[in-house]
């Protein structure tokens, strides 16, 4: 007898799995069966717990968001909600579009991830937002730039690529006086090194495409905050269509399970490599907040350390772009991958990737010269990294002493 395609296609069989599976299943359903019209209404309005439509929410997103909220300290730390989004950029967009309106003014760190600056400068100004860029490590400059319409300060805990650590407590008191929101992008620090709510943040975003997932196979963002933001954020995430997919949430939940171990190892590697590179004559400067020579070393000890300072460092070659190109072409085991937070160590070149929106003059002024590369440490052994970097630097010396 032929199977009836109407039955097979319209109603695939569901089975109740018993005993409970030992890992979280992936709930791919786009829509859920409701018991009645009233039930659907109650679910959608939040009167009853449960799910209706994947864009509004699904179990894998709820589980991952709660993991994120707990990593940031949960209720005890005043973190009332967390949501996960399709990318880090959508978390940043969500934080802004759910809180600001036409005519509002933002103060942006002048070394933000390039796309964040572009989001505000190129996209959101068309919707009537205004902004200024300031050095978030210079509190007087920030105070002077505040306008009556300033409603948000956007800062990275450790600004990419020179890893300047912002004075979050001072920025928080400036924003409180102004009745503005302090929005912190904590991607480079992660909640395992810094919990920005402890230093006065109102909203925190992270790109979990980086070390929190850690395996280089997912795009994902996270936004968490306090009670008064929860409803508007939860509404906006569905309205703007920023929901993360169940499979991606499942992968990131799995990545988070080992994040503390990977981050410990990667931080150790970054510190060792920073110290190693500081001894090399071809390297003019090493930027790592764990080094005494870093301009924000003291703030880093207070906000990020005292023993771990992140997996990213940057260094500047004495020979500028010529040295950078030689390094990339001679380096056989360290891939040039313009992202960060992978299992393997990678390098990137901010002038043509994350910060390509800056003019050469502005980038030079900020210290992101044409000789600067950014290194994202993975979880190899520190010895492997010293050998690899040492070999490439020696080969460069042989070609051009």
Ligand X SMILES: Cc1ncc(COP(=O)(O)O)c(C=O)c1O
Q: What are the two backbone dihedrals, phi and then psi, of residue 165, each rounded to the nearest 5 degrees?
A: -95, 125
Minimum CB separation from ligand X for residue 209, in Å?
4
Give the number of residues in contact with ligand X, rule: CB under 6 A: 13
Minimum CB separation from ligand X for residue 120, in Å?
13
Q: Please give the DSSP secondary-structure letter assigned to residue 123.
A: I
Q: Is 160 in the site for ligand X (CB under 6 A)?
A: yes
Q: Is 111 in the site for ligand X (CB under 6 A)?
A: no
User: For ligand X, which residue of 104, 133, 167, 185 counts as binding (CB under 6 A)?
Assistant: 185
User: For ligand X, which residue of 191, 214, 216, 221 counts as binding (CB under 6 A)?
Assistant: 221
287-306 residues in contact with ligand X (CB under 6 A) are none
Minimum CB separation from ligand X for residue 196, in Å?
13
Which one of the spans 23-31, 66-74, 84-92, 368-376 is the region binding ligand X (CB under 6 A)? Answer: 84-92
- 319 burial class (0-12, 13-18, 19+ CB within 10 angstroms)? middle
Residue 312 DSSP SS3: strand
Which one of the spans 40-48, 161-169, 184-192, 304-312 is the region binding ligand X (CB under 6 A)? Answer: 184-192
Which one of the spans 86-94, 138-146, 314-322, 378-386 is the region binding ligand X (CB under 6 A)? Answer: 86-94
- Residue entry with tokens 């954020």: 233
Nearer to ligand X, 178 or 187 (CB): 187
User: For ligand X, which residue of 219, 233, 270, 324 counts as binding (CB under 6 A)?
Assistant: 219
Residue pair 343/378 in contact (Cβ under 8 Å)? The answer is: yes
CB atoms within 10 A of CB 281: 9
Residues 118 and 126: their CA atoms lie apart, in Å, by 12
Nearer to ligand X, 252 or 273 (CB): 252
Q: Is 88 in the site for ligand X (CB under 6 A)?
A: yes
Q: How many residues does the chain have?
A: 401
Q: Is 253 in the site for ligand X (CB under 6 A)?
A: no
Strand partners, 372: 316
Strand partners, 52: none
Q: Minimal CB distance to ligand X: which residue?
A: 88
Residues whose CB is less than 8 angstroms from the CB of residue 370 and which lie 6 or more positions away in sequence, other chains included: 320, 321, 324, 351, 360
Residues 350 and 352: their CA atoms lie apart, in Å, by 6
Nearer to ligand X, 98 or 186 (CB): 186
Within a 13 Å sphere around the CA of 157, how many CA atoms are in the beta-carbon half? 33
Residue pair 271/309 in contact (Cβ under 8 Å)? The answer is: yes
**The dihedral sign for the CA sequence 288, 289, 290, 296:** positive
Residues 371 and 219: their CA atoms lie apart, in Å, by 29
Provide the mask over 9-48, with x wherever binding to ligand X is found by CB under 6 A and - wherever it is not.
----------------------------------------
CB atoms within 10 A of CB 368: 24
Q: Is 113 in the site for ligand X (CB under 6 A)?
A: yes
Within a 13 Å sphere around the CA of 340, how many CA atoms are in the beta-carbon half? 27
Q: Please give the DSSP secondary-structure letter assigned to residue 166.
A: P
User: For ligand X, which residue of 54, 67, 117, 209 counts as binding (CB under 6 A)?
Assistant: 209
Nearer to ligand X, 218 or 273 (CB): 218
Minimum CB separation from ligand X for residue 220, in Å?
7
User: For ligand X, which residue of 71, 89, 129, 223 counts as binding (CB under 6 A)?
Assistant: 89
CA distances 215 to 130, 190, 331, 358, Å, are: 37, 15, 22, 29
Minimum CB separation from ligand X for residue 119, in Å?
10
Q: What is the DSSP string of 32-71?
A: ---SSHHHHHHHHHTSS-S-SBTTT--HHHHHHHHHHHHH
Minimum CB separation from ligand X for residue 326, in Å?
26
User: For ligand X, which residue of 56, 133, 156, 316 counts as binding (CB under 6 A)?
Assistant: 156
Q: Is 348 in the site for ligand X (CB under 6 A)?
A: no
Which one of the spans 67-75, 162-170, 182-190, 374-382 is the region binding ligand X (CB under 6 A)? Answer: 182-190
Which one of the spans 87-95, 222-230, 322-330, 378-386 is the region binding ligand X (CB under 6 A)? Answer: 87-95
Minimum CB separation from ligand X for residue 8, in Å?
39
- Return residues touching ligand X (CB under 6 A): 87-89, 113, 156, 160, 185, 187-188, 207, 209, 219, 221
């Amino acid at each position: 007898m032929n199977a009836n395609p109407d039955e097979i296609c319209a109603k695939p069989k569901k089975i109740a799995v018993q005993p409970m599976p030992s890992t979280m299943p992936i709930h791919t359903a786009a829509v859920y069966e409701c018991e009645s019209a009233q039930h659907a209404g109650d679910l959608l309005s939040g009167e009853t717990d449960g799910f209706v439509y994947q864009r509004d929410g699904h179990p894998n997103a709820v589980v991952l968001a709660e993991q994120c909220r707990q990593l940031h300290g949960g209720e005890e730390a005043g973190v009332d909600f967390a949501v996960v989004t399709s990318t880090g950029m959508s978390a940043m967009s969500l934080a802004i579009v759910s809180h600001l309106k036409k005519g509002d003014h933002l103060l942006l760190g002048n070394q933000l991830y390039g796309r964040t600056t572009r989001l505000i400068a190129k996209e959101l100004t068309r919707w009537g937002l205004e902004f200024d860029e300031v050095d978030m490590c210079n509190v007087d400059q920030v105070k002077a730039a505040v306008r009556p319409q300033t409603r948000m300060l956007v800062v990275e805990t450790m600004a990419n690529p020179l890893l300047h650590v912002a004075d979050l407590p001072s920025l928080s008191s400036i924003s409180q006086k102004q009745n503005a929101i302090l929005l912190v992008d904590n991607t480079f620090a992660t909640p395992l090194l810094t919990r920005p709510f402890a230093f006065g943040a109102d909203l925190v975003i992270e790109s979990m495409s980086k070390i929190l997932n850690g395996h280089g196979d997912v795009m994902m963002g996270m936004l968490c905050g306090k009670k008064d933001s929860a409803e508007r954020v939860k509404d906006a995430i569905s309205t703007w269509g920023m929901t993360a997919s169940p499979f991606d949430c499942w992968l990131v939940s799995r990545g988070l399970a080992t994040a503390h171990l990977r981050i410990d190892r990667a931080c150790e590697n970054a510190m060792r490599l920073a110290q190693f590179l500081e001894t090399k004559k071809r390297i003019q400067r090493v930027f790592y907040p764990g080094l005494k020579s870093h301009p924000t070393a003291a703030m880093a000890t207070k906000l990020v350390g005292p023993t771990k300072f992140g997996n990213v460092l940057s260094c500047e070659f004495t020979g500028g772009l010529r040295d950078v190109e030689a390094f990339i072409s001679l380096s056989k085991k360290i891939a040039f991958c313009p992202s960060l937070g992978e299992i393997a160590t990678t390098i990137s070149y901010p002038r043509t990737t994350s910060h390509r929106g800056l003019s050469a003059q502005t980038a030079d002024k900020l210290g992101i010269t044409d000789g600067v590369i950014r290194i994202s440490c993975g979880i190899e052994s520190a010895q492997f990294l010293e050998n690899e970097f040492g070999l490439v630097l020696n080969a460069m010396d042989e070609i051009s002493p």
